[in-house]
Amino acid sequence: MKVFKISRVGQIKTRREINLSKTIGILGGMGPSATVDLFNKIISNTPAISDQDHLHIIINNNPKIPPRMNALNPGSESPLPELIKGAQILQKAGADFIIMPCNTAHIWYQEISDSITIPFYNMITNAVDHTLNQINGSNSTVLLLATHTTIHTRLYQKAFQETAVTLIIPSHTEQIMVNEAISSVKGGLLKTNPYLKAFNKMLDDYANQGVMHILGGCSELPLLFPFLNEKIDKLDPTLMLAQLAVSKGL
């Protein structure tokens, strides 16, 4: 545990005890399991030996936010009004900064950020920074696994521009399978996900081609990592976001 101050009576006080830690706001519900995953990873990555050493976290878990995957289709309802409302609720509730465990929703990152006056940390750019550090000196080819909307809007492709990483994008057929696997996770299917066999076959094929890293660019995908090919390195933006939140909160 880090020591920051010693009281007059010689008692060691943590940063938490002298009220220097910050309150994390999580703009969640997209989906609920992904939000729980982020929360768990923040707890697991917080250096704590007591309840009081953990960070104050406010979670706005709103699963009623309109779907992000089809939001750009003509006639679809935009999630932006609810995303802005959710961020403003977190700010009013006392959050010092906000994180959002939904990759696709970062399409509207700037609009959400502009609607509040507290920092809103970007999951995409954070994942890129962590990835560059994590695979330093190793094979720089990474298979991007994400929703079709995240891939279509090039959120990760733009963020990785002018870096040493080469992103591989799944074929059209593979992407359909990835979308269905994501939807099955949202339906609560992990170990029994009906697309696991096809998913692992796809990863085997890429591994045989020399692709040794996958980036879980949808927050449902890290929930499947325990059931995926062990030979391939799994890059988890949710874990990376949790580590960022802990570093900013302490």
Residues recognised as catalytic? 102, 218
Q: Are strands 12-13 and 5-6 parallel, antiparallel or unpaired?
A: antiparallel
The dihedrals phi and psi of 156, each to the nearest 5 degrees, come to -80, -35
Strand partners, 141: 166
User: How many residues comprise the chain?
Assistant: 250
DSSP 17-39: TTT----EEEEE-SSHHHHHHHH
**Whose structure tokens read 């995908």?**
221
Query: Strands of 97-99's sheet, edge to edge?
Result: 57-61, 24-28, 97-99
Angle at 73 between CA 72 and CA 78, to 5 degrees: 50
Exposure string of 192-208, with b = 16+ CB inside 10 Å and e = fewer, is ebebbebbbebbeebbe
